[in-house]
Structure 1
Amino acid sequence: MNEKIPETSDGKSAESRPSILKIAAIAVAIGAIAGAGGIYATGMLSGNAGGTGTACAAAIETGASLKPLLTGEVAAMAPRTQANDLSGLTFNDGDGNAITLADTGGKPRLVNLWATWCAPCRAEMPALDALQAEKGGDDFEVVAISVDGGDDAKPRAFFEEIGIETLGFYHDPTIGAFNTMKKEGLAFGLPVTVLVDSQNCVVANMNGPAEWASEDAYRLIDAVKAKSE
């Protein structure tokens, strides 16, 4: 049986999103207690080896140059100061075949880990779909990976329920992708989002939801795409 990952909040004021923040605060507290008991066992990292190295030095420089754009709706995203190569991050594609993040490469991507039981994840999914519709293509993709346990039925039903039209379907029922990001110092709850360059190196990361269908997010993605040309 897979353990649930705690939800995270978006850092906004209690007046702006009271219900999501209340749910997230409770979930994080529960997750912290569970984590102390070994919920994130290293044995769950099988098949999801990450890595670091000088190959990602350019991503750190890119992240630093983007810092002025990490404001407003994407203010919670932070540029990386250490190398994180996620080329080996493993999950399934829409046909159920095991792939790695490198298989989606050749362009910048916004990688988002989510689950149907995570209220902040559900709230931001339409915005991620809108971001893919607005900016997605050969030069950028939103890679939203469900970490729901079991088969594809539940996350696919959620996509249909809320009318997702442009996001590709990706699924990791093992929670291995989350644990890889946790080991890399990128994640502590859901949703977790990382911006990677065309070489699968992390440029910036955040925990918690954001309004991805916003001018702040669009400016950030435009800048990342421009730097990859």
Structure 2
Amino acid sequence: MHDQTPAPSATRRIPLVIATVVIGGAVGFAALYGLGLGRSPSGDPACRAAVETAKRIAPLVHGEVAALTVATAPLRLPDLAFEDADGKPRKLSDFRGKTLLVNLWATWCVPCRKEMPALEELQAKMSGPNFEVVAINIDTRDPEKPKNFLKDANLIRLGYFNDQKAKVFQDLKAIGRALGMPTSVLVDPQGCEIATIAGPAEWASEDALKLIRAAVKPIAAAL
């Protein structure tokens, strides 16, 4: 699944650990949802609107986005920390006010690389004051490799974000929202989960675009 040579350090073993987690990931993810694990004990009241959004988009979960699992209880995501292309610290909370598709990817992950052009197209069609794709690279070795991959593939619309310690994966894994790569979470403007998918999706498809548009649309406008 990856082309990195195993290294002795714990940090460099992260890709192997993540890749191993993929085995049985879909079953485990469904089990976490079914048992209600990985959620805060009482749920965040501010995230109830995200659950309403999830209910509203549920009929659109089919076709190219059929693997998406919509939220059934309020869940605020951890304030994920990463860096931008200039090495400036960023957090998920920096994007408050926008609906986000947070995607974790790595160059050693073949499905991730194949998914990136669709994310690029989604960003090109939907980005603006109300929506953004936040694709976070978790390569733990050569920091230039993911940058060169994006450049060579002419993926110029996606902002470059990275976390060389892959802590963003561990933070999402801790709440049952990352079991393999790629992982994508649809996040509401308050930082709350709307839906999650373990694995790739065709984000540039009409199925995905309809779902994202419905998620971005204010509830009042959708009624």
Could you tell me the TM-score, scaled by structure 2's length? 0.80
- Mapped to 2, the partners of 1:97 and 1:82 lie a distance apart of 33
Offset at 1:53? 1.8
How many residues end up aligned between the 2 structures?
Answer: 193
Aligned position for 1:85: 76
- Mapped to 2, the partners of 1:75 and 1:211 lie a distance apart of 10
Of residues 111, 119, 123, the one that matches 2:110 is 119
Deviations 1:74-100 (A, max 9, x none): 111111123321251111112111111
- Mapped to 2, the partners of 1:30 and 1:181 lie a distance apart of 17
Cα separation, partners in 2 of 1:112 and 1:118, compared to 1, 3 Å: same
Cα separation, partners in 2 of 1:54 and 1:6, compared to 1, 3 Å: same
- For residues 23-102 of structure 1, the aligned pairs below 5 Å read 28-29=22-23, 53-86=44-77, 88-102=79-93
Of residues 109, 119, 125, the one that matches 1:134 is 125
- Mapped to 1, the partners of 2:140 and 2:217 lie a distance apart of 37
Offset at 1:151? 5.1
- Mapped to 2, the partners of 1:172 and 1:159 lie a distance apart of 16
Identical amino acids, percent of aligned pairs: 45
- For residues 1-229 of structure 1, the aligned pairs below 5 Å read 1=9, 2=11, 3-4=14-15, 5-7=17-19, 28-29=22-23, 53-86=44-77, 88-150=79-141, 152-227=143-218
Cα separation, partners in 2 of 1:225 and 1:27, compared to 1, 3 Å: closer
Deviations 1:121-149 (A, max 9, x none): 00000000000001111111000000110
- Mapped to 1, the partners of 2:213 and 2:186 lie a distance apart of 12
Deviations 1:46-85 (A, max 9, x none): xxxx975222121112111110011110111111123321
What is the letter of the counterpart of residue 210 of structure 1? A
- Partner SS for 2:217: helix
What is the letter of the counterpart of residue 221 of structure 1? I
Q: Mind listing any 5+ residue stretches in structure 2 that lack a counterpart?
A: 1-8, 26-38
Could you tell me the TM-score, scaled by structure 1's length? 0.78
